[in-house]
Amino acid sequence: MTSASLLYPMGYDLDESTTYADARGATIEGSRNALAVDVESNRLIVRVEGEAPKWLANAIAQVQKIMHLKPGWDSYDSLPPDPKAARAALLYLGQIMHEKMRCPAIVPMSSGNIQLEWHASGVDIEIEVGPEGPVFASIEDLNGAVDQSGPIRPGSKLLNQVAGLLPLSA
């Protein structure tokens, strides 16, 4: 079991041996390792069943950095990143990422939401994630073959397209 306690507001606990069937946050299962993310007492707790995928440590490190941003961090009255949006972003990544996929750049937005960005292999993919999950997606192919963007609704085809276009690790 790997665990670490990090300074507020971000902490993580990567558990490689325990099953969290009763995770308080959403739990993702299936062909991928189960991943649970909770916001507890101003900490974000990440738990994974089985071996943690490589992208997860990278994603956690990025989230950890941005969660320290204070109000006004962009010099234009920005809000600090919302821990619930960070939780939702990690859970969404848990749904779409496979072991060999490339971790996105995790970019804080002025609104407090989180943007996941991939700009590689000739494709631009940007997913805005709010406290409840993805709210906007944009996919653009450099060749012009694909150029779609729009708000995310339940069962959105746009969101389903993302998983098939994600670049592999460099």
User: In this chain, which of 9, 102, 152, 156 binds another protein, going by CB under 8 A?
Assistant: 102
Nearest distance from C-beta of residue 37 to another protein, angstroms:
19
Is residue 152 a contact point for another protein (CB under 8 A)?
Answer: no
CB of 23 to another protein, least distance (A): 26
Binding residue for another protein (CB under 8 A) from 138, 146, 161, 165?
138
Which tokens hold the place of 106?
């995790």
- CB-wise, 50 or 119, nearer to another protein? 119
**Most distant CA pair in the chain: distance in Å?**
46
20 belongs to the binding site for another protein (CB under 8 A): no
- Structure-token match 């690790």, residue found: 169
Task: Based on the shown chain and the rule CB under 8 A, indicate whether residue 56 belongs to the binding site for another protein.
Answer: no
Residues of 5-23 as b/e, b for ≥16 C-beta within 10 angstroms? eeeebbbbbbbeeeebeeb
Binder among 33, 95, 111, 156 for another protein (CB under 8 A): 111
Phi/psi region, residue 85 (left: phi>0; alpha: psi -120 to 50; beta: rest), is alpha
Q: Can you tell me which of 7, 8, 29, 122 binds another protein, judged by CB under 8 A?
A: 122
When the beta carbons of 76 and 145 are compared against another protein, the nearer one is 76
Kindly report whether the peptide bond that precedes residue 9 is cis, defined as omega within 30 degrees of 0: yes
**Tokens describing residue 75:** 């010099």
Number of residues interacting with another protein: please give it, by CB under 8 A.
39
Half-sphere exposure of 43 (CA within 13 A, CB side): 13
CB of 94 to another protein, least distance (A): 16
CA angle 89, 136, 67 (to 5 degrees): 35
Residues forming the site for another protein (CB under 8 A): 55, 58, 62, 66, 69, 73-79, 102-112, 115, 117, 119-124, 126, 136, 138, 140, 142, 149, 169-170
